[in-house]
Amino acid sequence: MKSTQDDGGQCLVLGYDRTDSSRRAARWAASELHPNGKLVIVHACRPLHAPPPPLSTPEERKRLGRAVIDELLLEGDDSLFDVEIVTEVSDDDPVTALTDAARRHGARAIVVGCEQHSRLHKALGTVTSELLQTSPVPVTAVPSPGLTTDAGQVTRSADAG
What CATH code is carried by the domain that includes residue 150? Answer: 3.40.50.620
DSSP codes of every residue in 18-61: SSHHHHHHHHHHHHHS-TT-EEEEEEESS-TT-PPPTTS-HHHH
> Is 26 a member of any domain?
yes
Provide the H-helix boundaries in the chain: 20-32, 58-75, 94-105, 119-124, 127-134
Which domain covers residue 76, as residue numbers? 7-156
Condensed to tens digits (0 to 9), the pLDDT of residues 18-34 reads 888 889 999 999 999 98
Please write the tens of the pLDDT for every residue from 56-105: 788 887 888 888 888 888 886 777 878 888 888 888 899 999 999 999 99
Report the predicted TM-score, pTM, of the whole model to 2 decimal places.
0.77
For residue 144, being part of any structural domain is answered with yes
CB 139 within 8 A of CB 128: yes
pLDDT, tens digit, 9 for 90 and up, residues 120-137: 444 445 788 889 899 999
Judged against a pLDDT cut of 50, whether residue 154 lies above it is answered with no
Looking at residue 161, its pLDDT comes to: 38
Examine residue 52 and state whether it is found in any structural domain, yes or no: yes
- Does residue 125 fall inside a structural domain? yes
Domain membership of residue 161 (yes or no) is no
* pLDDT value of position 131: 92
Residue 61 lies in a domain: yes
Is the residue at 1 inside a domain? Answer: no
> What is the domain count for the chain?
1
- pLDDT score for 80: 80
Q: Is 99 within a domain? A: yes
